[in-house]
Structure 1
Amino acid sequence: MISRFNSFKRTHIILQHLGMSKHTDAAEEVLLERKGCAGVITLNRPKFLNALNLTMIQKIYPQLKKWEQDPETFMIIIKGVGGKAFCAGGDIREVSNAGKTKQKLAQDFFREEYTVNNAIDSCRKPYVALIHGITMGGGVGLSVHGQFRVATEKTLFAMPETAIGLFPDVGGGYFLPRLQGKLGYFLALTGFRLKGRDVLKAGIATHFVDSEKLDMLEEDLLALKSPSEEKIANVLETYQAKSKIDQDKPFILEEHMDKINSCFSANTVEQIIENLQQDGSSFALEQLKIINKMSPTSLKITLRQLLEGSSKTLREVLTMEYRMSQACMGGHDFHEGVRAVLIDKDQSPKWKPADLKDVTDEDVNTHFKSLGSNDLKF
């Protein structure tokens, strides 16, 4: 049995890193360089697990667009420094402070972040994300919409937002419901963490390489002459073929997939909970304990986000998620989640409403209402 309480605590430790917004020189928080035939984006806030802030997002977007137009740039590579994290998410404490005081940052951060997520998806140059180390929230948004996502044995993937009164954004409503069976629904509601080769087996990464070979892999990519998508894929596949780490281990959730598919196929959170209770296995009861800690409002809006997102385009999903983000900024649970996890660190958020049955359809609907002229537009 996978011990989830430890991982729950560890997620809180990671989230705490995201709350430490001390500004270093913004110029150095993200490095943008031309190397060989590639544009290379390096997230450079290792002390904060390369958490994304608005200034970083505002530097990445125009450069991405420039490289996309540049005939001399044949691919884009994104990576993080420090070895611990690719990018552990967005700088949520800063966003919460701004949201509480109605500052524009709370609008701008999500608007510009989602604009970058869409730009990665529509990028006409091959985009290679080296997702080594912790890859959560905003870090998922910087990688999962690109063509190539390279995981290592140190990759740790999660979307832990329901634990802080938010929802798995950055296009989670698009990519999560498209994973096998109901896996994405399970990951979204529980914040379950996938490690190493399991990130590939889940369909989140496209390739897997040994972490000690990452530098060589990057050198080989940069040495390619005017590389096509095919040449890049060949290099990645060659490295993957040589990787033996956990090669024969089954997917960590393989034995539970039937349960996940049946329990998480319901259209309401209440029914999912009932399914887990009726299942009664130790795995189901473990998930139940975890879900019961999450923000009831977050659980309900997340399930609706995924159900609706399953038939929308990424742009439509990001427009929907932008509406949701702004409703969360104006609500109670996100700020309370940030308080409990990042500020007071008591790990016991007081959700309002505290009970699923008190989260009304009207409460849920307000998260999906058009913002009129303030809607996210592409």
Structure 2
Amino acid sequence: MSAPAEILFERRGAAGIVTLNRPQALGAVTHGMVLALRAQLDAWADDAAVTRVIVTSAPGRAFSAGGDIRALYDLGRAGQHDKALQFWRDEYPLNTVIKTYRKPYVALIDGIVMGGGVGVSVHGSHRVAGDKYAFAMPEVGIGFFPDVGATWFLPRLPGRLGTYCALTGDRLNAADACAAGLATHRVASSRFAELLDALCGNVSVDAVLAAFAEAAEEGPVAPHRATIERLFDGESVEAILAKLDREAAGGAAADWAGKVVANIRTKSPTSLKVALAQMRHGAGWTFAQCMQAEFRIVSRIVREHDFYEGVRAAIIDKDNAPRWQPATLDAVTPVEIERHFAALDAGDLDLS
């Protein structure tokens, strides 16, 4: 008996429907899924009978909790860095195709959406958040960096919310995501099946979503938005931590700041500094510049220590005790961070 396909495609009415079909793996995006989705999107782009694309996931805890990190870890540990990099060589152009897709691209997200799962949803024209929606970009906790276009979309969140997300990896629920613009509509999970059916008709996507959408309540991050804007505007990770430490020592948001600063200090020092540089550079870059910078970064990180150590601690041994190298922020120099953004000898990634 053959294994079920990791990603499913269906034509229903006016819609091309994509189903991420790895619920047992929290919808983790494999290289094969990236290639299949790219090919299908290219075909539907030229199919006049398909007027919109809908991306959903098989029932489970996650829409997609990220890329297939374990497979990439195994390749890197085996010294097959170029083979591992091929995943991102294909994933980042897919993110670009979604960003520039000329038909409505609707992601129905009811569960965890992180990393690679964000990459196949956040760049679409419409992002619908269900009751179980939980967004995060937690890469700095495994010695990686916020990619799949995070260099573009995180700096464009209101205030310093993107910097907060990049450095903490904390989750945003449906209400916070709608307030930030990560989600465009809030729809009750119980109505997702009905919504999917309605989207397959010929009524415009905007009209259908307007009929189903409900007002989002205030999310748990909302009361801290002003504090986040005040504390996360530092020009260095050390400056941000110093602000958080001062707040934790007796500010109005002392308890919250204490938890946040303790969390950040568990992350890879190199990843934290790369991520902050992404937030500052990306705010002034085009989408293409952001994606090409991310490929420059991943081309270095895949050959460094912290990614493999972070995955070991979180996924392989699950001891949650990574030993970062360097172990302290002051040991990560500005020159080292800028090296991650430097031009590649082979030239920039072709995003077409």
- Normalising by structure 1, we get a TM-score of 0.88
Note the 1:1-378 alignment, pairs <5 A: 28-103=5-80, 104-224=82-202, 231-241=204-214, 249-280=217-248, 281-373=254-346, 375-378=348-351
Give the conservation status (yes or no) of the 8 Å contact 1:134–1:156.
Answer: yes
Deviations 1:137-193 (A, max 9, x none): 101111110100000111111111010001110000100010010001001100111
- Distance (whole Å) between structure 1 residues aligned to residue 347 and residue 9 of structure 2: 31
Report the CA distance between 1:25 and its aligned residue: 5.9
Deviations 1:301-332 (A, max 9, x none): 00001111111111110100011111110110
Give the conservation status (yes or no) of the 8 Å contact 2:108–2:128.
Answer: yes
Report the CA distance between 1:198 and its aligned residue: 2.2
Give the conservation status (yes or no) of the 8 Å contact 1:26–1:56.
Answer: no
- Distance (whole Å) between structure 1 residues aligned to residue 216 and residue 255 of structure 2: 25
- Distance (whole Å) between structure 2 residues aligned to residue 115 and residue 258 of structure 1: 35
List runs of 5+ in structure 2 lacking aligned partners.
249-253
- Distance (whole Å) between structure 2 residues aligned to residue 358 and residue 211 of structure 1: 47
The number of residues matched between the two structures is 345
Give the conservation status (yes or no) of the 8 Å contact 1:26–1:55.
Answer: no
> Cα 1:186–1:368, aligned 2, differ >3 Å: closer, same or farther?
same
Give the conservation status (yes or no) of the 8 Å contact 1:167–1:298.
Answer: yes
Structure 2 counterpart of 1:287, which letter?
V
Structure 1 counterpart of 2:273, which letter?
K
Deviations 1:348-378 (A, max 9, x none): 0000000000011222122111113253112
- Distance (whole Å) between structure 2 residues aligned to residue 130 and residue 54 of structure 1: 22
- Distance (whole Å) between structure 2 residues aligned to residue 347 and residue 190 of structure 1: 16
- Distance (whole Å) between structure 2 residues aligned to residue 354 and residue 213 of structure 1: 48
> Cα 1:25–1:360, aligned 2, differ >3 Å: closer, same or farther?
farther
- Distance (whole Å) between structure 2 residues aligned to residue 207 and residue 83 of structure 1: 21
Give the conservation status (yes or no) of the 8 Å contact 1:99–1:329.
Answer: yes
Partner residue in 1 for 2:251: none
> Cα 1:130–1:311, aligned 2, differ >3 Å: closer, same or farther?
same
Give the conservation status (yes or no) of the 8 Å contact 1:198–1:252.
Answer: yes
- Distance (whole Å) between structure 2 residues aligned to residue 255 and residue 49 of structure 1: 30
Structure 1 counterpart of 2:151, which letter?
G
Match of 1:372, SS state, is coil
- Distance (whole Å) between structure 1 residues aligned to residue 7 and residue 216 of structure 2: 37
- Normalising by structure 2, we get a TM-score of 0.95
* RMSD of aligned alpha carbons: 1.5
Identity, % of aligned pairs? 42
Give the conservation status (yes or no) of the 8 Å contact 2:186–2:216.
Answer: no
List runs of 5+ in structure 1 lacking aligned partners.
1-23, 226-230, 242-246
